[in-house]
Amino acid sequence: MLWLSLSLFVSLANAKPLVARWDNMKLKHGWETLPAHWVPIGAAPEGATIDLHIKLKSADADALIGTLLEVSDPSHERYGKHLSKEEVAELVAPHSDTHAIVASWLAAHNIAARPAFNGDWLQLDAVPIETANALLDASYQLYEHPSTGETLLRTQSYSLPAALHGHVSVVAPTTFFGTPQAMRATSRVEENTKVVQEDVLRAQALSPDAVPSSCASTITPSCLKALYNTTGFTPAATNRNILAVAGYLQEFANQADLTTFANRFLTGASSATFGTVLINGGQNSQNNPGVEANLDIQYTTGMSFPTPQIYYSTGGSPPFISDDNTPTNTNEPYLNFLDTFIAQSPLPQTLTTSYGDDEQTVPLDFATEVCNLFAQLGTMGTSVMFSSGDFGVGGGDCQTNTSPRKVQFQPIFPATCPFVTSVGGTTSVNPEVAASLSSGGFSNYFAQPSYQTSSVATFLNAIGTQFNGLFNRTGRGFPDVAAQAEHFQVVIGGRVGSVAGTSCSSPTVAGVVSLLNDFRLSEGKSSLGFLNPLLYSTGLSGLNDITSGSNPGCGTAGFTARAGWDPVTGLGTLDFGKLKALLG
């Protein structure tokens, strides 16, 4: 609906203020206490500006999710009939009255706006801080994260005119203090752990029934191909199938390291390469590559070569120090990436991301709208994977940030979003068991989606009253699936190191999913899109259940993996051969 975006732009540019009481402000969101680890350090520098995003409420609040579940349900007649960007824009379009009233409000403050995403968001560029404070009855100031040295402009609360609460869902950045450096990258280098300089198994056609015991201590692509039954499959739809990796923390993947990795750990892949898209000051100097970025691109390549890979390097995380050249605060980890990614043509069919925040640190309204953007990707045919986290049922003291504080398991966002596929971790072989680092549990924000009700109920009935009061029994359960998460052999700066974390698991699963997308596309079918309704129904027989191990945290033993779904390894690991047969 191009005409909608154009008409909205024109209305915002030309609208005259309507008669309205913009001074009748009503709180939209505020924190009871300042989010942990952030301290105020003073007023914004003179001349500072901030880029703002405004989410306009959709006229039909249920249309997007209803459509997503239909096109993702293998038993529905609409299965696989994904929507175009224009069709999604129509689904999420605001009510016509919304355009006029929001335009009037912005005009009263002499602010121009332009459409973003699929037309249901507005972007306000370089708004002076004093104007932003007046617009939102806010108090933007500088805050610092002492452990990272990062600073950013945020406000502990903001309000909207009462007349706008029925038209605007969220304004960002306002009260979300998460930034890429403060977000938790779900990987770590394993010091003093065995590494191998090359994969001696790569010339062998390993099967799931013959996974070498060496894979318990050193994971290579050959180990993963055997474990997840992809050995021998050659992608055929490489002219239209794309696998994307989202990166933050000023990290980028290094081409020389990928070439070294391919020569040492893959067969016939010395030509392996990847594209790079820079977002909001993302880096790609090819010096001092990131562990996370190299891990991701090496193992998506390792699982799916020669499928095209694209690494999205999203910046915005350096300390915010305003000057004449860079007066604008643009630290916004999710929206900056998604604004660019949704506009991609063609849109990658598979996306993996290995970052997350404690759910309680993300304002609910913001989390909801970011989650809905992932739902938009699903309706357009993109499968979205997020690592579940590396902190069991919770890291640190697990204190809530509400008053009075109490100990509670800490779920990880966006892994808790019901419209992404959350990936937990396993370790060992013959059999695989849950990795103790694997984050999992239940969302405090998102209700349990219908596609997993039966599976989660079986688990809850089995544990009875265990951990009562420490988690939300009616929340969305995560993770959904799992993959290996320890002892990954990664080339970093020309040298091989061992890496652990669900950052290893998510790109591994994404590689398998990309192969499934390749198979479907080469058969003239659609990509898989949102995976969960398939995984929890007919796809269940294509998974390997993990039935032992646990994820301790918060001073407890954590949940225990068991038959069926569990909040440690989800439904289990993917068997490509079985899933391919089911999807044929």
Q: How many CB atoms lie within 10 A of CB 495?
A: 11
Residues 416-424, mean pLDDT to the nearest whole number: 98
**pLDDT for res 1:** 34
Residues 55-103: tens digit of each pLDDT: 999 999 999 999 999 999 999 999 999 999 999 999 999 998 998 999 9
d(CA 25, CA 18): 17
Residue from 296, 358, 486, 566 carrying the catalytic annotation: 296
**pLDDT for res 80:** 98
Residue from 120, 292, 480, 575 carrying the catalytic annotation: 292
Closest CA to 297 of 483, 491, 437, 500: 491
Residues 359-375, mean pLDDT to the nearest whole number: 94
User: Which residues on neighbouring strands pair with residue 496, listed in sequence order?
Assistant: 491
Number of H helices and E strands in the chain, helices first, is: 14, 28
Residues 373-383, mean pLDDT to the nearest whole number: 98
Strands 441-447 and 475-478 turn out to be: antiparallel
Residues 522-535: tens digit of each pLDDT: 999 999 999 999 99
Class of CATH domain 185-583: alpha beta
296 is annotated as an active-site residue: yes
Distance between the two ends of the chain, CA-based, in angstroms?
34
| Per-domain boundaries in the chain | 2-57+94-176, 185-583
**pLDDT for res 381:** 98
Residues 557-582, mean pLDDT to the nearest whole number: 98
Across 185-189, 353-357, 486-490, which has the greatest mean pLDDT?
486-490
522 is annotated as an active-site residue: no
Residue from 304, 428, 436, 503 carrying the catalytic annotation: 503
**What is the total residue count of the chain?**
584
d(CA 232, CA 4): 48
84 is annotated as an active-site residue: no
With beta carbons less than 8 A apart as the criterion, state whether 301 and 220 touch.
Answer: no
